[in-house]
Chains A and B, each alone.
Chain A
Amino acid sequence: MSIITNINKLFDHRIRLGIMSVLMVNEYADFKMLKELLGATDGNLASHTKALEKADYILVEKQFIGRKPNTRYSATKLGKLEFKKHIEALEKLINKT
Protein backbone atom coordinates (compact mmCIF):
# COMPACT_ATOMS: atom_id res chain seq x y z
CA MET A 1 0.00 0.00 0.00
CA SER A 2 2.92 2.31 0.58
CA ILE A 3 3.27 3.02 -3.09
CA ILE A 4 0.07 5.01 -3.26
CA THR A 5 0.79 7.29 -0.34
CA ASN A 6 2.59 9.71 -2.58
CA ILE A 7 -0.03 9.86 -5.28
CA ASN A 8 -1.43 13.32 -4.86
CA LYS A 9 -5.17 13.69 -5.36
CA LEU A 10 -4.72 17.34 -6.21
CA PHE A 11 -2.72 16.45 -9.31
CA ASP A 12 -5.17 13.83 -10.44
CA HIS A 13 -6.36 15.78 -13.43
CA ARG A 14 -4.96 16.36 -16.89
CA ILE A 15 -5.09 20.16 -16.72
CA ARG A 16 -3.54 20.41 -13.25
CA LEU A 17 -0.81 18.01 -14.22
CA GLY A 18 -0.23 20.15 -17.30
CA ILE A 19 -0.08 23.42 -15.37
CA MET A 20 2.50 21.98 -13.00
CA SER A 21 4.55 20.46 -15.85
CA VAL A 22 4.81 23.82 -17.57
CA LEU A 23 5.67 25.63 -14.35
CA MET A 24 8.36 23.11 -13.43
CA VAL A 25 10.47 24.05 -16.43
CA ASN A 26 9.47 27.70 -16.82
CA GLU A 27 10.03 30.38 -14.23
CA TYR A 28 6.73 31.98 -15.15
CA ALA A 29 3.82 31.29 -17.44
CA ASP A 30 0.93 33.61 -18.04
CA PHE A 31 -2.70 32.69 -18.52
CA LYS A 32 -2.59 32.89 -22.29
CA MET A 33 0.49 30.68 -22.55
CA LEU A 34 -1.05 28.02 -20.32
CA LYS A 35 -4.30 28.18 -22.24
CA GLU A 36 -2.57 27.65 -25.57
CA LEU A 37 -0.32 24.87 -24.30
CA LEU A 38 -3.04 22.94 -22.53
CA GLY A 39 -5.89 23.61 -24.91
CA ALA A 40 -8.22 24.48 -22.04
CA THR A 41 -11.08 26.95 -21.87
CA ASP A 42 -10.81 30.11 -19.74
CA GLY A 43 -13.17 28.90 -17.04
CA ASN A 44 -11.69 25.45 -16.87
CA LEU A 45 -8.15 26.72 -16.53
CA ALA A 46 -9.16 29.36 -13.98
CA SER A 47 -10.82 26.82 -11.69
CA HIS A 48 -7.80 24.51 -11.80
CA THR A 49 -5.31 27.28 -11.14
CA LYS A 50 -7.48 28.37 -8.22
CA ALA A 51 -7.37 24.86 -6.75
CA LEU A 52 -3.59 24.73 -7.05
CA GLU A 53 -3.29 28.23 -5.60
CA LYS A 54 -5.43 27.25 -2.62
CA ALA A 55 -3.01 24.43 -1.85
CA ASP A 56 -0.08 26.88 -2.09
CA TYR A 57 1.37 24.88 -4.98
CA ILE A 58 1.43 27.84 -7.32
CA LEU A 59 1.80 31.57 -6.91
CA VAL A 60 -0.54 33.89 -8.77
CA GLU A 61 0.53 37.42 -9.56
CA LYS A 62 -1.74 39.92 -11.19
CA GLN A 63 -0.14 42.88 -12.86
CA PHE A 64 -0.58 45.28 -15.70
CA ILE A 65 1.43 45.19 -18.90
CA GLY A 66 0.74 48.64 -20.25
CA ARG A 67 -3.00 48.85 -19.81
CA LYS A 68 -3.69 45.17 -20.17
CA PRO A 69 -4.19 43.06 -17.07
CA ASN A 70 -1.90 40.07 -17.02
CA THR A 71 -1.95 37.09 -14.69
CA ARG A 72 1.18 35.11 -14.34
CA TYR A 73 1.79 31.91 -12.48
CA SER A 74 4.84 30.32 -10.94
CA ALA A 75 5.35 27.12 -8.98
CA THR A 76 6.10 27.43 -5.27
CA LYS A 77 8.76 25.38 -3.54
CA LEU A 78 6.04 23.26 -1.97
CA GLY A 79 4.35 22.75 -5.31
CA LYS A 80 7.58 21.64 -6.97
CA LEU A 81 8.32 19.21 -4.15
CA GLU A 82 4.84 17.72 -4.19
CA PHE A 83 4.88 17.42 -7.96
CA LYS A 84 8.20 15.58 -7.87
CA LYS A 85 6.83 13.19 -5.25
CA HIS A 86 3.77 12.63 -7.39
CA ILE A 87 5.82 11.84 -10.49
CA GLU A 88 8.06 9.48 -8.58
CA ALA A 89 5.01 7.70 -7.25
CA LEU A 90 3.59 7.42 -10.75
CA GLU A 91 6.84 6.00 -12.05
CA LYS A 92 6.99 3.46 -9.25
CA LEU A 93 3.45 2.41 -9.99
CA ILE A 94 4.21 1.84 -13.63
CA ASN A 95 7.47 0.03 -12.99
CA LYS A 96 5.78 -2.32 -10.55
CA THR A 97 3.65 -3.97 -13.18
Chain B
Amino acid sequence: MLKPNNLFYFVFQSTLKMSDKDYLKDISEIKNLMNKSSRFISLSGLSGVLAGIYALIGAAIAYWLVMTYSNGTLYIFHGRVFWACMAVLMMIAILSAVTGIILTTRKAKKTGDKMWDNSSKRLLLNFLIPLTVGGVYCLIILSQGTYGQTGGLMLIFYGLALVCASKYSIGDIQYLGYIQIILGLIASYYPGYGFWLWAIGFGVMHIIYGTWMHFKYDVNK
Protein backbone atom coordinates (compact mmCIF):
# COMPACT_ATOMS: atom_id res chain seq x y z
CA MET B 1 0.00 0.00 0.00
CA LEU B 2 2.75 2.43 0.93
CA LYS B 3 4.90 3.84 -1.79
CA PRO B 4 8.33 4.25 -0.24
CA ASN B 5 9.40 6.76 -2.84
CA ASN B 6 6.61 9.08 -1.94
CA LEU B 7 7.83 10.51 1.30
CA PHE B 8 5.17 13.17 1.50
CA TYR B 9 2.44 10.60 1.25
CA PHE B 10 4.00 8.55 4.00
CA VAL B 11 4.33 11.49 6.34
CA PHE B 12 0.79 12.49 5.60
CA GLN B 13 -0.56 9.02 6.30
CA SER B 14 1.17 8.77 9.63
CA THR B 15 -0.14 12.12 10.82
CA LEU B 16 -3.59 11.04 9.77
CA LYS B 17 -3.27 7.85 11.77
CA MET B 18 -2.30 9.78 14.83
CA SER B 19 -5.33 12.00 14.60
CA ASP B 20 -7.81 9.24 13.81
CA LYS B 21 -8.83 9.12 17.41
CA ASP B 22 -9.56 12.84 17.34
CA TYR B 23 -11.79 12.45 14.31
CA LEU B 24 -13.63 9.63 15.99
CA LYS B 25 -14.09 11.86 19.01
CA ASP B 26 -15.29 14.66 16.73
CA ILE B 27 -17.96 12.45 15.23
CA SER B 28 -19.20 11.19 18.55
CA GLU B 29 -19.37 14.75 19.83
CA ILE B 30 -21.31 15.86 16.75
CA LYS B 31 -23.79 13.08 17.36
CA ASN B 32 -24.05 13.96 21.02
CA LEU B 33 -24.65 17.65 20.30
CA MET B 34 -27.24 16.92 17.64
CA ASN B 35 -29.18 14.76 20.07
CA LYS B 36 -28.77 17.07 23.02
CA SER B 37 -29.84 20.16 21.11
CA SER B 38 -32.90 18.68 19.45
CA ARG B 39 -34.16 15.88 21.66
CA PHE B 40 -35.19 15.69 25.25
CA ILE B 41 -33.84 12.39 26.46
CA SER B 42 -34.28 12.52 30.20
CA LEU B 43 -37.70 10.85 30.20
CA SER B 44 -37.76 8.35 33.01
CA GLY B 45 -38.58 4.74 32.23
CA LEU B 46 -39.77 4.15 35.76
CA SER B 47 -42.55 6.74 35.35
CA GLY B 48 -43.87 4.62 32.47
CA VAL B 49 -44.04 1.57 34.73
CA LEU B 50 -45.88 3.54 37.41
CA ALA B 51 -48.30 5.03 34.85
CA GLY B 52 -49.07 1.49 33.72
CA ILE B 53 -49.71 0.39 37.29
CA TYR B 54 -52.04 3.37 37.89
CA ALA B 55 -53.92 2.51 34.70
CA LEU B 56 -54.36 -1.12 35.77
CA ILE B 57 -55.53 -0.15 39.26
CA GLY B 58 -57.90 2.42 37.72
CA ALA B 59 -59.23 -0.15 35.28
CA ALA B 60 -59.81 -2.57 38.15
CA ILE B 61 -61.72 0.08 40.13
CA ALA B 62 -63.83 0.98 37.08
CA TYR B 63 -64.50 -2.70 36.43
CA TRP B 64 -65.59 -3.24 40.01
CA LEU B 65 -67.79 -0.11 39.96
CA VAL B 66 -69.55 -1.11 36.79
CA MET B 67 -69.94 -4.75 37.82
CA THR B 68 -71.45 -3.95 41.21
CA TYR B 69 -73.51 -0.85 40.48
CA SER B 70 -74.43 -1.11 36.84
CA ASN B 71 -76.22 -4.47 36.57
CA GLY B 72 -72.97 -6.16 35.72
CA THR B 73 -73.05 -4.89 32.16
CA LEU B 74 -69.65 -3.50 31.43
CA TYR B 75 -70.68 -1.28 28.59
CA ILE B 76 -73.85 0.37 29.80
CA PHE B 77 -73.16 3.25 32.12
CA HIS B 78 -75.61 4.84 34.51
CA GLY B 79 -75.25 8.41 35.58
CA ARG B 80 -73.40 8.01 38.84
CA VAL B 81 -71.21 5.11 37.73
CA PHE B 82 -70.33 6.99 34.58
CA TRP B 83 -69.12 10.01 36.52
CA ALA B 84 -67.24 7.78 38.96
CA CYS B 85 -65.45 6.16 36.04
CA MET B 86 -64.64 9.55 34.57
CA ALA B 87 -63.22 10.61 37.94
CA VAL B 88 -61.06 7.47 38.02
CA LEU B 89 -59.84 8.25 34.51
CA MET B 90 -58.95 11.80 35.49
CA MET B 91 -57.12 10.54 38.56
CA ILE B 92 -55.04 8.16 36.41
CA ALA B 93 -54.16 10.98 34.02
CA ILE B 94 -53.21 13.44 36.78
CA LEU B 95 -51.24 10.88 38.80
CA SER B 96 -49.36 9.70 35.71
CA ALA B 97 -48.50 13.26 34.67
CA VAL B 98 -47.33 14.22 38.18
CA THR B 99 -45.24 11.05 38.52
CA GLY B 100 -43.75 11.62 35.08
CA ILE B 101 -42.79 15.21 35.89
CA ILE B 102 -41.26 14.32 39.28
CA LEU B 103 -39.23 11.34 38.05
CA THR B 104 -38.11 13.10 34.87
CA THR B 105 -36.98 16.17 36.83
CA ARG B 106 -35.01 13.89 39.11
CA LYS B 107 -33.38 12.11 36.20
CA ALA B 108 -32.59 15.39 34.43
CA LYS B 109 -30.91 16.68 37.59
CA LYS B 110 -28.85 13.51 37.85
CA THR B 111 -27.65 13.66 34.27
CA GLY B 112 -27.14 17.42 34.44
CA ASP B 113 -29.67 18.20 31.71
CA LYS B 114 -31.99 21.14 31.80
CA MET B 115 -35.60 20.26 32.48
CA TRP B 116 -37.20 23.18 30.71
CA ASP B 117 -35.38 24.06 27.50
CA ASN B 118 -36.19 24.25 23.82
CA SER B 119 -36.14 20.51 23.32
CA SER B 120 -38.47 19.70 26.20
CA LYS B 121 -40.83 22.51 25.16
CA ARG B 122 -40.97 21.16 21.63
CA LEU B 123 -41.48 17.64 22.92
CA LEU B 124 -44.37 18.71 25.13
CA LEU B 125 -46.01 20.79 22.41
CA ASN B 126 -45.87 17.99 19.85
CA PHE B 127 -47.17 15.51 22.40
CA LEU B 128 -50.00 17.70 23.67
CA ILE B 129 -51.48 18.77 20.33
CA PRO B 130 -52.75 15.32 19.23
CA LEU B 131 -53.52 14.40 22.82
CA THR B 132 -55.66 17.48 23.48
CA VAL B 133 -57.53 17.11 20.19
CA GLY B 134 -58.16 13.46 21.09
CA GLY B 135 -59.26 14.31 24.61
CA VAL B 136 -61.75 16.93 23.44
CA TYR B 137 -63.04 14.58 20.75
CA CYS B 138 -63.55 11.81 23.32
CA LEU B 139 -65.49 14.21 25.55
CA ILE B 140 -67.73 15.20 22.62
CA ILE B 141 -68.34 11.54 21.77
CA LEU B 142 -69.13 10.78 25.42
CA SER B 143 -71.54 13.70 25.63
CA GLN B 144 -73.39 12.22 22.68
CA GLY B 145 -73.74 8.94 24.51
CA THR B 146 -71.66 6.76 22.21
CA TYR B 147 -69.44 5.12 24.77
CA GLY B 148 -68.31 2.12 22.76
CA GLN B 149 -65.64 3.95 20.77
CA THR B 150 -63.96 5.89 23.56
CA GLY B 151 -61.49 3.17 24.56
CA GLY B 152 -60.28 2.83 20.99
CA LEU B 153 -60.17 6.57 20.39
CA MET B 154 -58.14 7.21 23.51
CA LEU B 155 -55.62 4.58 22.40
CA ILE B 156 -55.43 5.93 18.85
CA PHE B 157 -54.91 9.57 19.82
CA TYR B 158 -52.46 8.66 22.58
CA GLY B 159 -50.52 6.54 20.08
CA LEU B 160 -50.45 9.40 17.57
CA ALA B 161 -49.24 11.78 20.29
CA LEU B 162 -46.40 9.38 21.11
CA VAL B 163 -45.37 9.00 17.47
CA CYS B 164 -45.40 12.80 17.10
CA ALA B 165 -43.34 13.27 20.26
CA SER B 166 -40.80 10.59 19.35
CA LYS B 167 -39.07 12.95 16.91
CA TYR B 168 -38.12 15.13 19.86
CA SER B 169 -37.16 12.46 22.33
CA ILE B 170 -35.80 8.94 22.46
CA GLY B 171 -36.85 7.39 19.17
CA ASP B 172 -38.08 4.22 20.87
CA ILE B 173 -41.24 5.99 22.00
CA GLN B 174 -42.63 5.66 18.50
CA TYR B 175 -42.88 1.86 18.84
CA LEU B 176 -45.06 2.25 21.91
CA GLY B 177 -47.09 4.71 19.82
CA TYR B 178 -47.57 2.24 16.96
CA ILE B 179 -48.67 -0.48 19.37
CA GLN B 180 -51.24 1.88 20.95
CA ILE B 181 -52.57 2.86 17.52
CA ILE B 182 -52.95 -0.79 16.47
CA LEU B 183 -54.68 -1.66 19.76
CA GLY B 184 -56.92 1.37 19.27
CA LEU B 185 -57.92 0.32 15.78
CA ILE B 186 -58.71 -3.20 16.99
CA ALA B 187 -60.76 -1.67 19.81
CA SER B 188 -62.69 0.45 17.31
CA TYR B 189 -63.54 -2.63 15.30
CA TYR B 190 -64.49 -4.69 18.35
CA PRO B 191 -65.95 -2.07 20.70
CA GLY B 192 -66.95 -4.89 23.04
CA TYR B 193 -63.32 -5.48 23.91
CA GLY B 194 -62.55 -1.76 24.27
CA PHE B 195 -62.14 -1.97 28.01
CA TRP B 196 -59.69 -4.86 27.89
CA LEU B 197 -57.67 -3.37 25.04
CA TRP B 198 -57.54 -0.10 26.97
CA ALA B 199 -56.18 -1.97 29.99
CA ILE B 200 -53.59 -3.72 27.79
CA GLY B 201 -52.55 -0.49 26.04
CA PHE B 202 -52.41 1.92 28.94
CA GLY B 203 -51.57 -0.64 31.62
CA VAL B 204 -49.58 -3.64 30.41
CA MET B 205 -47.82 -1.89 27.50
CA HIS B 206 -46.68 1.00 29.70
CA ILE B 207 -45.22 -1.43 32.22
CA ILE B 208 -43.40 -3.44 29.55
CA TYR B 209 -42.15 -0.34 27.74
CA GLY B 210 -41.16 1.45 30.95
CA THR B 211 -39.20 -1.57 32.18
CA TRP B 212 -37.46 -1.88 28.84
CA MET B 213 -36.53 1.84 28.80
CA HIS B 214 -35.43 1.70 32.42
CA PHE B 215 -32.94 -1.05 31.71
CA LYS B 216 -31.87 0.31 28.33
CA TYR B 217 -31.22 3.95 29.33
CA ASP B 218 -31.46 4.49 33.08
CA VAL B 219 -29.63 1.64 34.74
CA ASN B 220 -26.34 1.77 32.84
CA LYS B 221 -25.82 5.44 33.47
Interface, chain A (partner B; CB < 8 A): 1, 4, 14, 17-18, 21-22, 24-26, 29, 33, 36-38, 87, 90-91, 93-94, 97
**Are A37 and B36 closer than 8 Å at their CB atoms?**
yes
Interface, chain B (partner A; CB < 8 A): 9, 12, 16-17, 20, 23-24, 26-27, 29-30, 33-34, 36-38, 114, 117-118
Q: List 12 A-B contacts (CB under 8 A).
A: A4-B12, A4-B16, A17-B30, A21-B29, A25-B34, A26-B37, A33-B37, A33-B118, A37-B36, A87-B27, A94-B20, A97-B16
* B20 contacts across to A, CB distance below 8 A: 93-94, 97
**Are A22 and B34 closer than 8 Å at their CB atoms?**
yes
**Cβ-defined partner of A29 (8 Å) among B24, B26, B37:** B37
* A4 contacts across to B, CB distance below 8 A: 12, 16
* B26 contacts across to A, CB distance below 8 A: 14, 17, 90
**Are B23 and A94 closer than 8 Å at their CB atoms?**
yes
State the Cβ distance, A53 to closest chain B Cβ, in Å: 19
Given contacts A17-B30, A93-B16, contact A22 B23 (CB under 8 A): no
Residue of A nearest to B38 (CB): A25
State the Cβ distance, B212 to closest chain A Cβ, in Å: 26
**Are B37 and A25 closer than 8 Å at their CB atoms?**
yes
Instruction: Report the Cα distance A38→B34, complex, angstroms.
Output: 11
**Are A22 and B37 closer than 8 Å at their CB atoms?**
yes
Given contacts A1-B9, A33-B118, A93-B16, contact A18 B23 (CB under 8 A): no
* A25 contacts across to B, CB distance below 8 A: 34, 37-38
State the Cβ distance, A9 to closest chain B Cβ, in Å: 14
Residue of A nearest to B16 (CB): A93
Instruction: Report the Cα distance A29→B114, complex, angstroms.
Output: 16
* A90 contacts across to B, CB distance below 8 A: 23, 26-27
